[in-house]
Structure 1
Amino acid sequence: MVSEITILCVEDEELLLGDLVEELEDANYNVVTARNGNEALQVLKTVTPDLILCDMMMPGMDGPALLKTVREDYPALNQVPFMFLTARCSRDDMIEGKKLGSDDYLTKPVDYDLLLATIESRLAGVRRMAEHSRQQLATLYKAYQDEQKKKPQMRVAVVSSNSGIVSPISAALSEVGCLVKPIAEEALHTNTFQQQSFDVAFMIYSKKVHYLLQYLARSEESGSRPRIVMLIPSKFNKNARQVLEDLGVEACIEYPFRPVEIFKVIIDTLSRRGGPGRYGAGKQTGAGEAVKGKAESSVA
């Protein structure tokens, strides 16, 4: 039975690629293949692998160029291990491979026992990180739920043109008792958005959202606006961040939008309720300060 773990194997030697696929499938991994970096990028348009195993020297786009592209242009794959497989086996070659940012560097001819052990080790490391994040999130859940008992239900808007991107965020927020409302980008320039009372609005950044923020900025009832948090691409331009702040965005969270960061915003918003203005004076006091401190310590 093939597992749910998918490995992208990038190798230009046909015979070796066939052997790699056979060994990996025998180990119950699902395998997708590419013969160079350009083919791999095409695969990544439709497949999100759990690990990438890549030759270094290939025609067209080679392994180092693929690694650079993946790390810069595919933030969703930031946590996906990238392993080089190459005939270049000198000490200097290995050091170069490590400096390029690969997670591991294996040499040809392939020692398949070592290969499978290394793959399992890397995947286990990813699982440990995921479990650590889950535990952090559980701590924030508890902090939120304890404070939520004392105050009205949190109303959250999630603004995006792509429901698939925001559905995990919406589901997680709903799970802890937030009242979540998906909002289409186009609603930002109508009364639909302003007339609904939200405590916080998470907005997936796009050029259209950036443009439509001006309609919210013109609102005379600034006190009735929700806290606006923009979910932005990784390595977002600093000048663009400043423009967003000028339009009323309180904070930005970079892709891949870690749940811990989302819930820190929720807990902070909850703790600011009840003071002067919609969210208080901004200073954390009493129980709210304690909850925020608990959240901060859980992610330290």
Structure 2
Amino acid sequence: MAKGTLLITGGAGYIGSHTVKQLLQRGEKVVVLDNLVFGHREALPLDRVTLVEGDMGNAALVEKIFAEHQPEAVLHFAAFAFVGESVTDPLKYYRNNLAAPLTLLEAMQRHGVKEFIFSSTCATYGNPQFIPMNETHPQDPVNPYGASKHMLERVLKDCDTAWGLKSVFLRYFNASGCDLEGEIGEDHNPETHLIPRILMAATGELESITVFGTDYPTPDGTCIRDYIHVNDLADAHALALEHLRKGGESVAVNLGTGRGFSVREIISTAERVTGKTIPVTYGPRRAGDPPELVADPAKAKALLGWEARHKEPQAHIESAWKWMTGPRKGRYAATS
């Protein structure tokens, strides 16, 4: 059976663009819908991808895409993802992360498209009640970002009951790293992720990296996180698509390595990779930061055949450093 077209929302963003690259290598036909608020035109090979610039909440545009391209499945990355901003401006997050995708789902229902891969998050769990966290962990998000993702998971479950939509919820832990070839990478404004901020401190773009809290109940007093390489996330999306194409049921899986590393461990690894001393400032804990977040990824391996290949943070940092010191210096054009 010939492969159909894939519609990828947010495909010009960080994780979306890395997944697009992987899917193209697998011979897929891709249409990207991205409003380019946070995405970058230059992150896509426009000779091999159809880019539609616009918003997934625009019903007329979404209908036009479905009528013209007749997608077989939707991979949904598009979302706002700044936790702090979600607390101060919750309606922005509920409109974009919850309300706008309903337009997409209505078009899918009208056109009989019943395969949906959702970029969800470990933030749907809230504060950890046990470590490592598996998919049976209670979902009690502590901020509107996590809540918006959790609510859309519920919507997708209800669509399965009502009209047979099959979804895979991919609950990411801490996405990191860049394309191993250095062609594309992570370029956020503002940049909030730890590894690029550490590397920005290494290049002098930042005066220092601030470590928030050194008195956590962890071996070195700093927060521990499960860092998952963006290429491993891309692999998981491809395998989730295979699962649905084979008639698989809706499922939620964690995407992580199952190993946690502290902020201090990440900084020391970055110093080894870059050969530079990273200037560090120590600050108080940030409200809402749990001491430790680590995935139990066993279900993803059992159901999708997926396992992280890049389990050591050195590989994540090396690929991010390659992007940051490469021709683009870690940045796409300001206009892209």
Give the TM-score of the pair, scaled to structure 2.
Answer: 0.22
Larger helix proportion of the pair: 1
**Which structure: larger Rg?**
1
